[in-house]
């Protein structure tokens, strides 16, 4: 089988997005064949039935024998395996027990690293919340990092993850390749809101629902079928990279006993299917587009291109591959002088508008007037869209009373240190959210509006030639009483500037746009000329506060089932000490230092403060991401 890799918040097989369609299997009573799995004929029937139902992944809680691995491979099933170590014991800080756990991980990875159908491993599943509280999240995180790097040292290409649950949501786990969450919630709106929350907590980490299920003994088989169907739909709707249903069968054995009080299986102990199996199978076969739209509105995709030869071909290939039945592509060539016109001639079925170099807003307005769709979606010529991008945008616009919607834009993996540094730098376009579902701002590289509303407000303001047109448009729509939504699943890959020089030119353009916005919307800015946002700005880890710990709702004696983490904003003092105004003030002191050593010393110290704070922020980010290159730090 081809290896599965990850980038952004999805898994990929080669260049194709790959979704986990999984079910748990076992543990079972020890068999005569020497492992904790059914005898071979039953194993074959189970895996054959799972594959026929649309499953592609089996989650195992115990180490499988070779016969289990080979049987799964013959049926095209990948394995997601929990690595055994005594996670229910207080091993943290105890060198003897830590060495034992590390050795158990080494031995397990050595055995399985070359299995061709191994999707990945979980280095833990639901560490008890009282152990995490007792030891502190930092100590537990440090130990899990040791386990991660031990496993990566043996199998660098293996996907290494951790299966968490809401009671320890506050554990910082971004260094893992992917994360699972075991979530058991019966109220569907609460379930959806919690999944969206997880997507915002881990914006660039693949997330799967590592366990969802419902006990058919307590609730009945019909309710089980209905709940699992809805929960799987919601998992794919919010952009998770898969889900694992607990469990395949009611047959379940743990602690030396058969569990007969629960019946979470899609089939019973005799393997008779329950209604839930048919419902789950239906969703798995359609994923990720498993929620039917009431209707498929026509969508026009508008791309403004100016000297875009470096990335335009890749952008257009992605747009031609969209999984949406009714859309058109309109490219506005804004007076390009490079190979952009020649690249456009390579593609059939694309509407092309050519004009003199009038700027970004004028180009987007030309695209609006040349389009025919009910919805106008905008992306940039340096973006690569996800195949399901338009589906998720249209789904959100039908679900919520909104006139526009946007989604995340992610930095693709880049070759070369300079491009990687630019991708990690602050100042890129990002979204600002008033709530998990309503946006105060979405960037122009990933936004869509009803065409009638764009025409109602006379389109984009031509004064914005480089940037700021998206901010101005959304502010005008909000002031007219309209709302903008956000779909965490509707994402695009956004190439950042290729060089530091181009990056600084881009930031200069952003500054010019900010000045134009200040002139047009002075009430949106404070007395220092900084824009005032009421929502939360979602950026990369560079935006996390340095000195403020997040609020964590532990509950009474740390017993809350959902111990949620709420990050705090950066302190005003840190923001001021890293501002342009502070740096200019320090430079002025240094100039005065020609006449006064004290002023020179104060000026140097003033400039050292933002450098020190920036270094601390960079170190924090690299520590979270697990990167160690000096170049990334600089």
**Rounded average pLDDT over 453-473:** 94
18-40 pLDDT, tens digit each: 999 999 998 998 888 778 899 99
Residues 241 and 356 in one domain: no
Q: Scanning the structure block, which residue is given the tokens 């919630």?
A: 185
The pLDDT score that the predictor gives to residue 550 is 65
The residue among 509 and 243 whose pLDDT is bigger is: 243
Would you state the pLDDT for residue 208? 97
Q: Does residue 292 form part of some domain?
A: no
Q: What is the pLDDT of residue 620?
A: 65
Quote the Cα angle for 193-161-127, to 5°. 75
The DSSP 8-state label assigned to residue 543 in this structure reads G
Percentage of the residues of the chain whose pLDDT score is greater than 70: 92
According to DSSP, the β-strands at 242-245 and 207-212 are parallel
On whether both 275 and 311 belong to a single domain, the answer is: no
Residues 268, 313, single domain; the answer is no
> Is 100 inside any structural domain?
yes
pLDDT of residue 627: 46
Sorted by sequence, the CB contacts under 8 Å of residue 184 that are 6+ apart come out as 211, 212, 213, 214
Query: At which of 504, 539, 574 does a domain end?
Result: 539
On whether both 140 and 45 belong to a single domain, the answer is: yes
Give the integer Cα–Cα distance in Å for 560 and 544.
Answer: 25
Single out the residue in 539, 559, 580 at which a domain terminates: 539
Q: Which alpha helices (DSSP H) does 202-274 contain, by range?
A: 216-219, 221-237
Do 402 and 487 reside in the same domain of the chain?
Answer: yes
Distance of CA 357 to the CA centre of its chain: 36
Q: How far apart are alpha carbons 37 and 296 in whole angstroms?
A: 46
Full domain range(s) for residue 102: 4-286
Asked if 173 contacts 569 with a C-beta cutoff of 8 angstroms, the reply is no
* Residue 400 region by backbone torsions, left for phi larger than 0, else alpha for psi between -120 and 50, else beta: beta
Residues 384 and 350 in one domain: yes
Q: pLDDT at residue 415 above 80? A: no
3-state SS, residue 339: coil
187 occurs within a structural domain = yes
| CATH number of residue 126's parent domain | 3.20.20.80
Residue 62 lies in a domain: yes
Same domain, 552 and 535: no
pLDDT, average across residues 434-450:
93
Output the pLDDT for position 134.
Answer: 86
Among 408, 386, 423, 409, smallest CA distance to 625 is for 423
pLDDT at 259: 81
Confidence of residue 567 (pLDDT cuts 50, 70, 90): low
Element spanning 575, H or E? helix 572-577
Mean pLDDT of the chain: 89
In a domain, 294, yes or no: no
pLDDT value at residue 628: 45
Tell me: the pLDDT tens digits for 63-105? 999 999 999 999 999 999 999 898 888 888 888 999 999 999 9
Domain final position from 286, 314, 345:
286
In a domain, 440, yes or no: yes
Supply the CATH number for residue 332's domain: 3.90.550.10
Mean per-residue pLDDT, 482-499: 92
Tally of domains in the chain: 3
**Residues 474 and 607 occupy one common structural domain:** no
Beta strand pairing status for 351-355 and 327-334?
parallel
Helices (H), 6-157: 40-52, 66-74, 95-112, 129-135, 137-154
* Residues 336 and 467 both lie in one domain: yes
Entry pTM: 0.88
The backbone torsions φ and ψ at residue 378, rounded to the nearest 5 degrees and listed phi first, read -115, 135
Instruction: Let me know whether 595 and 558 are in one domain.
Output: yes
Please give the pLDDT value at position 568: 61
Q: Are residues 599 and 480 part of one domain?
A: no
3-state secondary structure of 386: coil
Q: In the structure, what pLDDT confidence band is assigned to residue 506 with cuts at 50, 70 and 90?
A: confident
Whole-angstrom Cα distance, residue 107 to residue 101? 10
Residues 530 and 552 in one domain: no
The vertex-429 CA angle with 570 and 238, nearest 5°, equals 90
Rounded Cα–Cα distance for residues 363 and 20 (Å)? 40
pLDDT, tens digit, 9 for 90 and up, residues 122-170 = 999 999 988 888 888 889 999 999 999 999 999 999 999 999 999 999 8
Q: Is residue 293 part of a domain?
A: no
Residue 26 within a domain: yes
């Amino acid at each position: 089988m081809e290896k599965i890799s990850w980038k952004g918040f999805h898994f990929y097989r080669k260049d194709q997005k790959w979704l986990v369609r999984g079910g748990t299997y076992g543990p079972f009573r020890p068999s005569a064949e020497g492992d904790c799995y059914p005898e071979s004929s039953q194993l074959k029937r189970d895996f054959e039935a799972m594959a026929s139902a649309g499953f592609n992944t089996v989650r195992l809680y115990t180490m499988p024998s070779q016969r289990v691995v080979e049987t799964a491979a013959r049926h095209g099933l990948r394995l997601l395996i929990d690595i055994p170590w005594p996670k229910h014991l207080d091993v943290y800080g105890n060198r003897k027990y830590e060495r034992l756990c590390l050795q158990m991980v080494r031995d397990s990875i050595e055995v399985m690293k070359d299995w061709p159908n191994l999707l990945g491993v979980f280095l833990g599943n639901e560490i008890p919340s009282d152990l995490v509280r007792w030891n502190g999240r930092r100590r537990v995180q440090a130990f899990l990092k040791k386990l991660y790097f031990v496993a990566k040292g043996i199998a660098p290409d293996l996907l290494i993850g951790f299966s968490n649950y809401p009671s320890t949501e506050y554990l910082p786990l971004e260094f893992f390749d992917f994360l699972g969450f075991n979530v058991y919630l019966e109220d569907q709106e609460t379930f959806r809101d919690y999944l969206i929350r997880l997507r915002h907590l881990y914006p660039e980490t693949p997330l799967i629902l590592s366990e969802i299920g419902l006990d058919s003994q307590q609730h009945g088989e019909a309710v089980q079928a209905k709940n699992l169907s809805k929960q799987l739909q919601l998992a794919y709707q919010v952009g998770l990279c898969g889900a694992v249903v607990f469990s395949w069968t009611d047959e379940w054995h743990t602690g030396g006993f058969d569990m007969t009080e629960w019946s979470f299986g899609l089939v019973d102990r005799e393997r008779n299917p329950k209604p839930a199996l048919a419902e789950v199978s239906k969703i798995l076969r359609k994923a990720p587009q498993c929620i039917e739209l009431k209707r498929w509105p026509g969508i026009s995709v508008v791309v403004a291109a100016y000297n875009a030869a470096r990335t335009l071909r890749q952008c257009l290939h992605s747009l031609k591959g969209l999984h949406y039945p009714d859309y058109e592509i309109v490219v506005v060539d804004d007076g390009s002088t490079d190979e952009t016109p020649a690249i456009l001639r390579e593609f059939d079925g694309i509407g092309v508008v050519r004009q003199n170099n009038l700027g970004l807003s004028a180009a987007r307005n030309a695209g609006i007037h040349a389009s025919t769709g009910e919805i106008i979606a905008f992306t940039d010529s340096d973006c690569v869209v996800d195949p399901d991008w338009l589906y998720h945008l249209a789904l959100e616009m039908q679900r919520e009373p909104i006139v526009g919607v946007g989604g995340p834009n992610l930095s693709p993996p880049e070759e070369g240190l300079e491009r990687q540094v630019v991708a990690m730098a602050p100042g890129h376009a990002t979204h600002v959210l008033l709530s998990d579902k309503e946006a105060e701002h979405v960037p122009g590289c990933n936004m869509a509006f009803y065409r009638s509303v764009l025409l109602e407000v006379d389109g984009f303001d031509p004064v914005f030639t480089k940037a700021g047109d998206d901010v101005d448009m959304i502010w005008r729509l909000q002031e007219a009483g309209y709302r903008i939504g956000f779909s965490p699943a509707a994402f695009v890959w956004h190439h950042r500037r290729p060089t530091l020089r181009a990056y600084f030119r881009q930031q200069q353009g952003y500054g010019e746009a900010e000045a134009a916005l200040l002139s047009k919307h002075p009430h949106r800015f404070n007395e220092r000329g900084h824009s005032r946002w009421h929502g939360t700005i979602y950026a990369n880890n560079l935006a996390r506060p340095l000195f403020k710990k997040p609020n964590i709702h532990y509950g009474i004696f740390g017993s809350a089932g959902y111990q949620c983490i709420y990050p705090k904003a950066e302190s005003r003092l840190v923001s001021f000490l890293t501002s342009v105004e502070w740096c200019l003030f320090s430079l002025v002191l240094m100039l005065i230092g020609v006449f006064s050593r004290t002023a020179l010393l104060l000026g140097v110290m003033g400039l050292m403060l933002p450098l020190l704070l920036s270094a601390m922020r960079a170190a924090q980010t690299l520590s979270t991401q697990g990167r160690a290159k000096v170049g990334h730090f600089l």
